[in-house]
Amino acid sequence: MSEENKCCREGHHHHHCCCDQHARIGKEVENFKMEVYDPKEGGFGEIELKKLRKGGKWVVLVFYPADFTFVCPTELADLADKHPELKELGCEVISVSTDTKFTHMAWRTDERLLANVGYKMAADPTGKISRYFGVYDGETGLALRGTFVINPEGVLVGSEINFYNVGRNADELVRKMKANVYLKDHPAEACPAKWEPGKKTLTPSEKLVGKVYEALND
């Protein structure tokens, strides 16, 4: 049995135990670094959460299974269309797969669907970051389709995971980001389903219990 599993079985919760090695909603995300291919610069670089936090950025990590596959380029093209809007909201968008930065570069160059991709493409060849976010599939060595939103304080506030065969919708990511940004400035409020800027929000209190319809329709 591996050390990791052993420590879990025996219930030791010291820092390096696998029990603690997962990002959790509402909790601070551990610092991480990844090598990236940067299409804007046309070269390689590195991203680090700590540095992005210093810059006051929201970080949007978009995991996908593999370069040179079929649903993935459609998702990354969809994300590229929404990238300017996400940037305006203060987001650093980073796509992640277990491919190397070299494969990212080759794929971005070859696949015409990716012509507009301007966000950094991060490499997680060991699967370490994918494991931490709970999207690593040990049977294939690939990452599931996971989207994670980390706020400027480094707290995980959004998580969505799909299986390989269902692509995501970047419109919904933009909608959620608008709500996240709004709520950061209005912490007493809450955004109901399908909320868009300009629509009514809810201010939770005892007066609102059982009266949500009236609050949204008065």
Are 23 and 156 within 8 A, CB to CB?
Answer: yes
* CA 40, 41, 45, 48 torsion-angle sign: negative
DSSP 177-204: HHHHHHHHH-TT-B--TT--TTS--B--
Could you tell me if 122 and 34 are in contact, meaning their C-beta atoms sit under 8 angstroms apart?
yes
Distance of CA 111 to the CA centre of its chain: 23
Active site (annotated) includes residue 72: yes
Distance between CA atoms of residues 143 and 63, nearest Å = 6
Q: Left, alpha or beta for 197 (phi > 0: left; psi -120 to 50: alpha)?
A: beta
Q: Where does the chain show beta strands of DSSP type E?
A: 33-38, 43-48, 58-63, 91-97, 120-123, 136-137, 142-143, 145-150, 156-162
Q: What angle do CA 78, 128, 117 make, to 5 degrees?
A: 20
Q: Work out the burial of residue 149: count CB atoms within 10 Å of its CB; fewer than 13 is exposed, 13-18 middle, 19 or more buried.
A: buried
CB 139 within 8 A of CB 54: no
Identified catalytic residue from 17, 72, 91, 191:
72
Q: Which residues are catalytic?
A: 72
